[in-house]
Homo-oligomer: A and B are copies of this chain.
Amino acid sequence: MSKPFYSRKLHILILLTIIFSLSACFSDKNGKIKLLHFSSDISSDATPFVLKELLDKENEGVSKITFEKGEYHFYPDKGLEKFCYISNHNDVVIKTAFPLSQMKGLTIDGQGATFVFHGKMIPFLIDGSTNIAIKNLSIDWEVPFHSEALIVANDLENKTFDLKIAKEYPYEIRNGQLYFIKESYEHNLGQAILYDPERRAIAYNTEDYTPLTIYNNLPNKNTKTAVAYKYKVDSHDPVQNRIAREYALRVEELEPGLVRVYNHRKKIPPVGKVLVCKGEQHANRLAPAIRITNTNGFNAKNVKVHHAGGMGLIAENSSDLILDRFDVTPSRGRMVSTTADATHFVGCRGRIELKKCIFKNQLDDATNVHGTYQEVVDVIDEFTIGVRMGHYQQQGFVIGKPKDKVGLVRLKNSFFPYDSLTIKSVQKLNSRYQKITFNESLPASLESGDLIENLSAYPEMLLVEDCIISNNRARGLLLSTPNETVIRNNFFSTEMEALLIPVESGHWFESGNGANISIIDNTFQDCNHSGYNRGVIRFVTDDDNHNIAFNNINIKGNTFNHFDNLILEVANTDGLVFQENVITNSKTFPKRHNQKSAFRLKSSRNIQFKKNTYEGDAETVVEVEGNMQKVEFN
């Protein structure tokens, strides 16, 4: 073998690696590496350099990783690939640059660096770790997973509108359908919504215009039943969902960068608004910025997420997650930050804190905290059941771990468990079907179709404090937290409810009953402006009955500056005090709904109003539905 000589034709990785290695490692007295530092020499593609060190067994036990301030690009080509089941996302084959697996006590300090990702990547993939901190860095994508286009003309008679598409959003038209071309990705006009470019927020009344009606049903639906299935089939699953439908819109290019959209069946969007789209749900949640599983202790401080093709942060089966100045905001003049929720917590325990965060312009909730309902489909032996996951984007989620207390729920009878068992083991056979063995024998009352929820896997305490939540699609906070929740001194301006507290069992199967919730000193500015007649704060269950789902709610000292009438919807609640709040008539937008009351109550008891100021102009302040006792507004 001849002596090594490195051809100039080869990439100059060697040289960079040497420079990097010399400056990278600082050891403790035992020779164990404690600190890794990356210089901006690696910025043209930092992925292989960061990965090399993170995967190097020599670096086990590293406690701090720092970056020289600068802009670092991360490409997927040399990234570590993982197949991930991600709750409320697609299950994806994805690359990462920061696989933080089985780590203990690691801080990544960007020192002000910006990390720009390319294509299908999850920047931080954190699993099975303890006490991980990320701070002082920004996460962005060079090419976003959504697209934006200005509506420059419309024709109300012929029901068309014209989109001006900037060259940052390359597109093409195939068989009359518009596709936006991204880095190894593309999307169509699915899940579109209007932004108001002046307010840089979701447009008033966008629900009249959007989403675009991209599908028509086919006249013959026999194909839906053409294949005989032995077991239950999820009609939302993309394989089933495409049956008996075809694309409805037709798009035509008038000139490069200018396209006309035909066949939209809702109102034709107005000129001057920005149409934002991200493609269809089943394909558009693939690259969250931070993904955390089975991790105890996570802290993000001064982290900016400018974009993600999915959520800003999705945590599952983890505990003690503190976000302090975790800002989700758009960059580069984009209307949109993340294409799904800013943050999302499934089956998480301990403390969850969101403090001094900004959650702006994301295309879904600021946060969503919940467990999962799973359906009992088999009794396998005296101790073991087979359960089925409900929603295709929650597939693969494992409901709990040994010793967890699992509630058996029959929602038509009660929102609370009729019995409970403790987990001995979970065998995940596939993403839909798992076997759960309990320490105790199954109760006689157990029936197929009952749900289970993990009673041990709700946060002990959720704190949302001093946050700004605005300009985003969907809700502010979507909470299924039965233990303790404090929502204090936040600003909300959301197109749907600011606070939604549901029992949801019909679509996403997100479990949990809201209880012990304090909502204090917040400002709610013109929420629900996209068109829904819903309470700014809303307690609601999928099951329409008189059972109690929610209790011990304290709403105090808040200001509701609201253009419309409806402030609060309460259902299935026992114990709610609404006190010392101020409701003003903001007149920001025209009133949208012929809604006579400001407060709508049903199937509830022990609801009190004390020392509030009402400056709105609803005909009736408090409306009570059904045979519920009348409640006075004070």
Q: Smallest CB–CB gap between A15 and chain B, Å? A: 11
Q: Specify which of B4, B93, B184 is in contact with A443 (CB 8 Å cutoff).
A: B4
Q: Smallest CB–CB gap between A447 and chain B, Å? A: 5
Q: B residues within 8 A CB of A81?
A: 429-431
Interface string of A440-465 (1 = CB under 8 A from B): 11111111110000000000000000
Q: Smallest CB–CB gap between A12 and chain B, Å? A: 9
**A133 at the A/B interface (Cβ < 8 Å)?**
no
In the complex, chain A residues 210-254 whose Cβ is within 8 Å of any chain B Cβ? 218, 220, 222-223, 226-227, 229-231, 233, 237, 239-240, 242-247
In the complex, chain A residues 100-138 whose Cβ is within 8 Å of any chain B Cβ? 118
Give the complex CA separation of A172 and B218 in angstroms: 9
**A589 at the A/B interface (Cβ < 8 Å)?**
no
In the complex, chain A residues 164-181 whose Cβ is within 8 Å of any chain B Cβ? 170-176, 181
Give the complex CA separation of A95 and B7 in angstroms: 46
Do A227 and B170 contact each other (CB < 8 Å), given the known contacts A181-B243, A419-B1?
Answer: yes
Q: Smallest CB–CB gap between A18 and chain B, Å? A: 9
Do A377 and B17 contact each other (CB < 8 Å), given the known contacts A91-B93, A226-B170, A429-B51?
Answer: no
Q: B residues within 8 A CB of A442?
A: 4, 6
Q: B residues within 8 A CB of A421?
A: 1
Interface string of A55-67 (1 = CB under 8 A from B): 1000000000000
Q: Are A226 and B80 in contact (CB under 8 A)?
A: no
**A78 at the A/B interface (Cβ < 8 Å)?**
yes
Q: Smallest CB–CB gap between A245 and chain B, Å? A: 7
Do A75 and B230 contact each other (CB < 8 Å), given the known contacts A80-B429, A174-B245, A223-B172?
Answer: yes
Q: Are B13 and A378 in contact (CB under 8 A)?
A: yes
**A68 at the A/B interface (Cβ < 8 Å)?**
no
Q: B residues within 8 A CB of A242?
A: 174, 186
Interface string of A351-382 (1 = CB under 8 A from B): 00000000000000000000000001111111
**A10 at the A/B interface (Cβ < 8 Å)?**
yes
Give the complex CA separation of A170 and B377 in angstroms: 29
**A512 at the A/B interface (Cβ < 8 Å)?**
no
Do A449 and B380 contact each other (CB < 8 Å), given the known contacts A91-B93, A118-B230, A431-B93?
Answer: no
Q: Are A78 and B429 in contact (CB under 8 A)?
A: yes
**A433 at the A/B interface (Cβ < 8 Å)?**
yes
Q: Smallest CB–CB gap between A99 and chain B, Å? A: 10
Q: B residues within 8 A CB of A447?
A: 7, 9-10
**A45 at the A/B interface (Cβ < 8 Å)?**
yes
**A278 at the A/B interface (Cβ < 8 Å)?**
no
**A199 at the A/B interface (Cβ < 8 Å)?**
no
**A3 at the A/B interface (Cβ < 8 Å)?**
yes
**A185 at the A/B interface (Cβ < 8 Å)?**
yes
Q: Are B55 and A1 in contact (CB under 8 A)?
A: no
Q: Are B246 and A13 in contact (CB under 8 A)?
A: no
Q: Are A80 and B430 in contact (CB under 8 A)?
A: yes
**A77 at the A/B interface (Cβ < 8 Å)?**
yes
The 7 A-B pairs at the shortest CB distance, nearest first, are namely A170-B226, A81-B430, A5-B444, A174-B246, A83-B83, A77-B231, A172-B223
Q: Can you give 25 contacting A-B residue pairs, CB < 8 Å?
A: A1-B419, A2-B443, A4-B382, A4-B441, A6-B379, A7-B447, A7-B448, A10-B378, A10-B448, A11-B379, A44-B230, A51-B429, A77-B230, A78-B429, A80-B430, A81-B430, A83-B93, A91-B93, A171-B223, A172-B244, A174-B218, A175-B175, A181-B227, A181-B243, A186-B242
